Structure 1
Amino acid sequence: MRKRGAVGAESRQRLLEAAVEEFAHRGFHQTKISTIVAKAGVTQPAFYLYFANKEAAFAELVNEFRRGFTEVVRQSHVPPGKNQGDLKWSVVEGLEQIYHYLGSHPDLTKIGLFEAAEATEIKAEVARLMEQNLIEEQQAGYFRQDVDTEFFAESLLGIVERLTLIKLLPGLESPLTLAQQTQDLFFYGILDVAKRGENT
């Protein structure tokens, strides 16, 4: 027989899973607590054992996304000691981790990245983390010292955000493919390989 605490934790998790799906697909204002509890298979009074109201459940999901997204960005930087031959793949791996997190939590991503009132604040925090990563990578000697780190971070976040919306969440591209394309764009730009030397 399961302990009461374990049952409670399971019920709470089912409520959050139902809530994130409803919020992502119906929007905050159209989502009803009655629908959440029906989908979770618990009673409405049980909802209020864990959350004061609908806003509290939504806020917890937004905070969960924020914690997960910022942590994966922190972990995506290229560590010191890589040689130039490994640098390209290290950058791809870091970007893939970011895209993988966003793609593995599609409903949470829709809420935290696009729908929550805190989305702008979350993205600003992520941009600062991306900038800090680049500064550390510059210090490690990987990238040009004259790169505007704020411009780079905001550009990278904009690319990740847009590609997540139009390619990743609809399932049109994999995290690895998007990571490789993003890395290639930042490393090599859009000039034809044969013409690069003519423009330097």
Structure 2
Amino acid sequence: MAERGRPKGASGEESRALLLEIAAKEFAQHGYHKTKVSTIVKSASLSQPTFYLYFKNKEAIFEELENLFHLRMMDLVKKSRLQPALEQTSVRARIIYNVKEILAFFAKNPNLTRIGFYLSTKADEIKAQIVNQIKENLDYEVDAGYFRKDLDTHIVSESLIGIIERLTFVQLLPKQKKPEELAQHIANLLIDGMLPKARSEN
């Protein structure tokens, strides 16, 4: 017998996932304070008792979304560390791929991204932890010989997350640029710099 309020044939996990999806959209569009549980369940075509089967209150579902963003981001950043013994010629392509994967996650989850990067009261803490993980990656990669030994890895990490955050909101989420395009632009700037390439001497 289907639970009252649950769409016919939907499992508990499907209902829970739907509530998270709708809640992310409501929070992203209207902010935390203006979002109501009644609005979430109405948009999900579920009942309030169904909501409270899975979440204690509005704060609990918001915290789960915060944590979901945090965990997925940390996982993506940890996976982006360059592995030892890469051919130098493939390093640039690997960096572009790793940045693109992070941006693709944002593009696929725009509401979750707005919550994690902007709406969350833990946003600064989340970004600080991401910066620390990027720094750990860079320290490892410097030791592996991929980058200059005099690199200030903390400044580079802060710069990278700042660039990614800004471009996500002004280029990626408004669909001005695709993840692969932005990843290429970021690599061009951070790897090649802004000065014209020196002409080879005749």
TM-score where L is the length of structure 2: 0.92
Superposition deviation, residue 194 in structure 1? 3.8
1-structure distance, mates of 2:199, 2:193: 12
Deviations 1:120-163 (A, max 9, x none): 00000000010011111111111000001101100111001101
Gaps of 5+ in 1: none
Letter in 2 for 1:36: I
Identity %: 43
- 2:53 is the counterpart of 1:62: no
Looking at structure 2, the residues matched to 132 and 28 of structure 1 have their Cα atoms a distance apart, in angstroms, of 33
CA contact (8 A) 1:78 1:90 kept: yes
Does residue 120 of structure 1 match 2:124?
A: yes
Within-5 A mapping of 1:96-111: 96-111=100-115
Distance 2:51 2:90 in 1: 50
Please show how residues 12-27 of structure 1 align to structure 2 within 5 Å.
12-27=16-31
Q: Using the alignment, how far apart are the partners of 1:85 and 1:195 within structure 2?
A: 20
The 1:196/1:51 distance shift into structure 2, 3 A limit, reads farther
Post-superposition Cα deviations, 1:60-79, rounded to whole Å, max 9, x if no partner, equal 01100000011101111211
Amino acid at match of 1:187: I
Q: For 1:76-128, what per-residue CA distance to the aligned partner results, in whole angstroms no more than 9, with x for missing partners? A: 12111111111110111111111111111100000011110000000000000
Q: Which residue of 2 aligns with 1:182?
A: 186
Tell me which of 66, 71, 78 is aligned to 2:75. 71
- Mapped to 1, the partners of 2:165 and 2:2 lie a distance apart of 42
Aligned length: 196
- Runs of 4+ deviating beyond 3 Å: 1-4, 194-197
**What is the one-letter code of the residue matched to 1:43?**
S
Structure 1 position 42, deviation (Å): 0.7
Larger proportion of helix: 1
SS at match of 1:98: helix
The residue aligned with 2:84 is 80
Matched, 1:136 2:132: no
| TM-score between both structures, scaled by the size of structure 1 | 0.93
Contact 1:78/1:94, CA 8 A, preserved across alignment: no
Change in Cα spacing, 1:169 to 1:31, as seen in structure 2 (3 Å) is same
RMSD: 2.0
Deviation (angstroms), 1:196: 11
2:158 match: 154
CA distance in 1, matches of 2:29, 2:199: 47
Question: In structure 2, the residue corresponding to 1:91 is in which secondary structure?
Answer: helix
